[in-house]
Structure 1
Amino acid sequence: MSLPAGFAVRLSSRTKVCDGGRALVGGSRGSVLYLSDAAVDLLDGDQVVRAQPGDATTLARLLLDRGFAEPWWPDPAGPDSDVLDVTVVVPVRDRASDLALLLQALPRSVPVVVVDDGSRDRGSIARVAGDRDGLLVVHDVNRGPAAARNTGLRHVTTPFVAFCDSDVVPDAGWLATLRRHLDDPALALVAPRVLGPPRCPDDTWVERYEQARSSLDLGPEPSAVRQQGVVAYLPSACLLARVDVLNRAGGFDESLRCGEDVDLVWRLLAAGAGVRYEPAATVRHRHRAGLREWLGRKAFYGTSAAPLAARHGAAVAPLVISPWTAVFAGALLAQRRWSVPVALAAASVATAGTARRLGRSERPVRAAAVLTLEGSVAVLWQTSAALTRHYWPLAALAATRSRRARRALVVAAVAEGLADRRRVGSDLDPARYVLARRLDDLAYGSGVWSGALRSRSLRALAPDLRRPRRRATP
């Protein structure tokens, strides 16, 4: 679909400009895009393209769809009260005080549908919804968040709907910031960044870890959502979507008690709809502070992998492996004298093969080396994460029998934890951060294995084996 006139995009911070602007390296899939001289001229000094009739609209659409650019506006979004075509749907169960905080943060001009999903104290929910003049719909029994959102969706009369869980409080400007993304007719769904509450001196170490490393926080960089991409899913804590697209997709899968948000996003992507993550809009989520309930929630998240694998196959794979990355990672894990030379040889072969496919570039070897280096870092990162998260039962068993396996597991556990702490900028001390990181992984991995055993399928644990590309990206 064409972008409306004036809609602007700017090259992503992840996009590398090469060959004097004629080659872009990066995108959502680590590819190379060659630009004609006319296309290069359309990029202004700020690397911005504004959609206008003709080539500018085509280029802006291409850059956006391929992940080389993000939507861009020169001015702030404006107040949330100016948004008049969105209805907020809130599924809730026995969280009257949380619901009150959420409703107080919403503009009075925005219609609200509250769906009481089998609360034990229905009177409290009704009073809070009534104070906000919201439409209250009641489920006699608890049917789960997916069913509650679908019930609310059926009562929406505006063209757009925002789903907000009852334990979030939006920051000012969230709605207007998200709403302007939907001026792109190809976009079906957009979500904000989900942060924890503001820091307090008496926060526990679990809360401090969650403030930096919550499963709901997808980071500070905007991104198109892609299966196995930089941002691969969106949490349903807060979403803004087109009502007609959701209705055509059948809404949320009510058979899923967990992972229904991921399933919806992936179904929309499979249907060709656009999905985006916009961290400039933020909401605050009340994280679980107790160790037991925190670990229980992480394990609960892990149980979604098996039903998602049954629906979406390799999209949930903990490892994405190509021939050269398999050799690279395997050589390093072997910890032999030949390990480093073999790993370097695999990277060299990958660089040479990529350079051949980048023959149109002025510096094909340099561009290929950049892609291979990024791939090598990604391989190390995902291998360490897989050892300590999805495959930790197997890694722990191997560690009891092999000194090399034990060393690999310890190095992966410590190095990945320290690197992750630096990446997210946590102020929690290194020892407790690494401990929290590993407990997080142990709980999630336990949930994955529990769900896999219950479903009698290990599909959620199978790696995605990729074949090398045979031709260059056009």
Structure 2
Amino acid sequence: MSRRAPVVGPASTTLPVGFQVQIDQRCAHDGNLRHLVGGSPLRVMKMSDPALGMTSDDGRIAVHDAGTQLLARRLLDSGIAHPRPMSGPAAGEVTIVVPVHDNQAGVDRLLGALDPGGASVVVVDDASRDPITVPDGVTLIRFEENRGPAAARNAGVAASESEFVAFLDSDTVPVGDWLTMLLGHFADPTVALVAPRIVGLTDSTDVSVAAEYANRFSSLDMGPREALVAPGSPLAYVPSAAMVVRRSGFLGFDESLRVAEDVDLCWRTHGQGWRIRYDPIATVGHEHRDSLKAMLNRRRFYGTGAAELASRHGALAAPVVSSAPLAVAVISLLTRSRVGAALAALIAVYVFRRTNRLVGTVPRGRVIAAQSTARAFGFGLLQAGAAVLRHYWPLSVIAFAVSGRFRRWFAAVAVAEALAMWVRNQMLDPEAPVMSPLHYALFRRLDDLAYGTGLWQGVVSRRDVGALRPVISR
């Protein structure tokens, strides 16, 4: 089975009585629930007196009638509020599917740690050289030819009858009540897919520096903030190493993909009108590559998927997405000239005035507009730096070889981008172990080189430059 026939979108958007949502306090500036600013893209919502009457002082709304239903749905879909379901499906309504290839030890560890709580378990052996064995009570499916993780997961779904299916890779170990925490989200009938946070399985204090970087900054770790997942948003997808899906909203993994099949599934699911949630309260440990060579080779492999995504999803896979004014401003700043700085300042004023018109009725609207403008410019600079260092680094190498001015500029960008990202990561997750800025900068640059190598490998293999084509909107 490759792609399944298109799944119809959710039959209902009605939240059940008792379902609750929580307004993200970052959207309520100074605790002001009257005016909410947030979401992606940025939205401004003014709460009416009746809406405020439905909302508790801390921003909680409980669904109990048509009015609270409409308000909760609007806030959820805008990304300004997050779900707080009171109940969800039972574990007995779930099948756990484990795809595996040549990892008996991982399967043994996962099944030994797994508390299914009534869920069925299906292990799909994707043509391991030594056939996988499982204990009694676990269903085993074996492929005689290697077909890839997408096909293995699809086969597990086909062998199950439950309405909900949880996917766990064989190198993962779920933590605590992960499944119960995720199942509650399916009380929302529009949710087709939910994912936990994926963290390092090993203790970062007792591993190599390469493994410490992998544990702290794995591309599978989507961070500490819950979010509505959507292409083009700060959280564009969730990894398939650990996720739970609703059968009626499951489109099937594309079996022609050996990499990025999870991104493809998320984007197709979103395109059908379903919602995807990321909930970092639920965690799953993952055995990351602990050697530098293995880690970088994995990053390169992930990079090869960009060309495949671009061929299927076009602009959604673009390495750079920007508005024309912001792109001009960023390029102007990067010239490090007085003329460039003046032009960027003029554009900043233009962006500020446009944003201020949007939030002008909000208390402290000018401050919010200034902050939003600064964040946009900061993101634009980081995106440009990442593109030069990651997506387009082969071109940067050529420029580095022929231009002394570019060499100085490139070195400054390489250091500044790494330092900015180190600070950003510490601010987002202050309780996480701290890696030295020097080590982080070194491994981030190696990470970029590996991913960029894979990206160009995929572009050359497919003879399609779509994964390198920026998207600049008016």
- Report what 1:471 is aligned to: none
> Which residue is 1:138 aligned to?
142
User: Within the alignment, does 1:93 sit opposite 2:94 as a pair?
Assistant: no
Question: What do the CA deviations read for 1:357-391 (whole angstroms, capped 9, x no partner)?
Answer: 44554555444323212211211221121111111
Q: TM-score, normalised by structure 2?
A: 0.92
Closer, same or farther: CA 13–436 of 1 in aligned 2, 3 Å: farther
| Counterpart Cα distance in 1 of 2:32 and 2:439 | 46
Matched, 1:388 2:396: no
Q: Which of 207, 229, 236 is the matching residue for 2:233?
A: 229
Q: Which amino acid aligns with 2:121?
A: V
Match of residue 459, structure 1, among 462, 466, 470: 466
Counterpart residue type for residue 2 of structure 1: T
Taking the TM superposition and a 5 Å limit, the aligned residue runs for 1:152-191 are 152-191=156-195
Q: Structure 2 residue aligned with 1:51, among 46, 55, 63? A: 63
CA drift of 1:409 comes to: 1.8
Tell me if the contact between 1:352 and 1:365 (Cα under 8 Å) persists in the aligned partners.
no
Q: What code does the residue aligned with 2:468 have?
A: L
Cα deviations by residue, 1:130-152 (Å, 9 ceiling, x for unpaired) = x1521111111100000000000
Shift of 1:345: 1.3
**2:129 pairs with one of 120, 124, 133:** 120
| CA RMSD after TM alignment | 1.9
Conservation of the 8 A alpha-carbon contact between 2:85 and 2:184: no
Match of 1:15 in 2: 27
Question: Are 1:37 and 2:46 matched, yes or no?
Answer: no
Distance 2:306 2:113 in 1: 34
Residue pair 1:334, 1:404 contacting (<8 A) in 2 also: no
Aligned to 2:3: none
Offset at residue 18 of structure 1 (A)? 7.3
Are residue 65 (structure 1) and residue 66 (structure 2) matched?
A: no
Is the 1:192–1:238 Cα contact (8 Å) retained in structure 2?
A: yes
Provide the residue aligned with 1:252 in structure 2: 253
Once the two structures are superposed, residues 288-336 of structure 1 have per-residue CA deviations (whole angstroms, 9 ceiling, x without a partner) of: 1122121111000000000101111111111111122112101111111
1:233-255: per-residue Cα shift (whole Å, max 9, x none)? 11110010101211xx2x00000
Separation (CA, whole Å) in 2 of partners of 1:114 and 1:348: 58
- Which amino acid counterpart does residue 100 of structure 1 have in structure 2? D
- How far apart, CA to CA, are the structure 2 residues paired with 1:18 and 1:261? 38
Q: What code does the residue aligned with 2:157 have? A: L
Deviating above 6 A after TM superposition, structure 1's stretches of 4 or more consecutive aligned residues are none
Per the TM alignment, residue 407 of structure 1 is displaced from its structure 2 partner at its CA by 2.8
Instruction: Select the residue among 213, 220, 236 that pairs with 2:217.
Output: 213
Question: Which amino acid counterpart does residue 465 of structure 2 have in structure 1?
Answer: L
Tell me how far apart the structure 2 counterparts of residues 157 and 356 of structure 1 sit (CA, whole Å): 53
Counterpart of 1:267, as a letter, is R
Counterpart code for 1:373: A
Quick one: distance in 1 between partners of 2:98 and 2:46?
Answer: 45
Aligned pairs for 1:193-204 (under 5 A) are 193-199=197-203, 201-204=205-208
- Once residues 171 and 312 of structure 1 are traced to their aligned partners in structure 2, the CA distance between those partners, rounded to angstroms, is 34
Q: Aligned runs of 1:288-437 on 2, under 5 Å?
A: 288-358=289-359, 360-361=361-362, 364-425=365-426, 426-437=433-444
Conservation of the 8 A alpha-carbon contact between 1:28 and 1:224: no
Q: SS state of the match for residue 29, structure 2?
A: strand
Match of 1:470 in 2: none
Return closer, same or farther for 1:270/1:138 CA change in 2, 3 Å cut-off: same
Give the CA deviation at 1:71.
Answer: 1.1
Secondary structure at 2:414 match in 1: helix
Unmatched segments (≥5 aa) in structure 1:
468-474
Take 1:378 and 1:200, find their aligned partners in 2: how far apart are those partners?
29
Q: 2:111 aligns with which of 90, 93, 103?
A: 103
Distance in 2, Cα, partners of 1:418 & 1:362? 34
Range with bigger deviation, 294-303 or 410-419: 410-419
Using the aligned pairs only, state the percent identity: 43
- Note if contact 2:360-2:366 (Cα within 8 Å) is conserved in structure 1: no
Change (3 A) 1:404 1:362: same
- 1:198 partner SS: coil
Q: Give the corresponding residue for 1:278.
A: 279
1:239 to 236, 240, 243: 243
Give the drift of 1:12. 2.0
Residue identity opposite 2:75 in structure 1: L
Shift of 1:201: 4.4
Say how many residue pairs are matched: 455
Q: Deviations over 1:51-83 (max 9, x none)?
A: 121211111111111100111268xx89x9x62
- TM-score for both structures, normalised by structure 1: 0.92
Q: Do the aligned partners of residues 187 and 139 (structure 1) sit closer, same or farther apart at CA in structure 2, a change above 3 Å counting?
A: same
Q: CA deviation at 1:25?
A: 1.1
What is aligned with 2:267?
Answer: 266
| Counterpart position of 1:472 | none
Please say if residues 94 and 164 of structure 2, whose CA atoms lie closer than 8 Å, have aligned partners that are also in contact.
yes
Q: Secondary structure at the match of 1:296?
A: helix
- Larger deviation: 200-209 or 431-440? 200-209
Q: 1:55 to 1:119 in 2, by over 3 A?
A: same
SS at match of 1:40: helix
List per-residue Cα deviations over 1:78-127 (Å, max 9, x = no partner).
9x9x62211100111111110011112222522101111101111xx12x
Change (3 A) 1:36 1:19: farther
Counterparts in 2 of 1:42 and 1:404: CA distance versus 1, 3 Å: farther
| Compared CA separation, residues 142 and 19, structure 1 to 2 (3 A) | closer
CA distance in 1, matches of 2:382, 2:136: 47
Aligned to 2:430: none
Distance 1:401 1:27 in 2: 44
- Contact 1:298–1:444 (CA<8 Å) still a contact in 2? yes
C-alpha distance 35-267 of structure 1, shift in aligned 2 (>3 A):
same
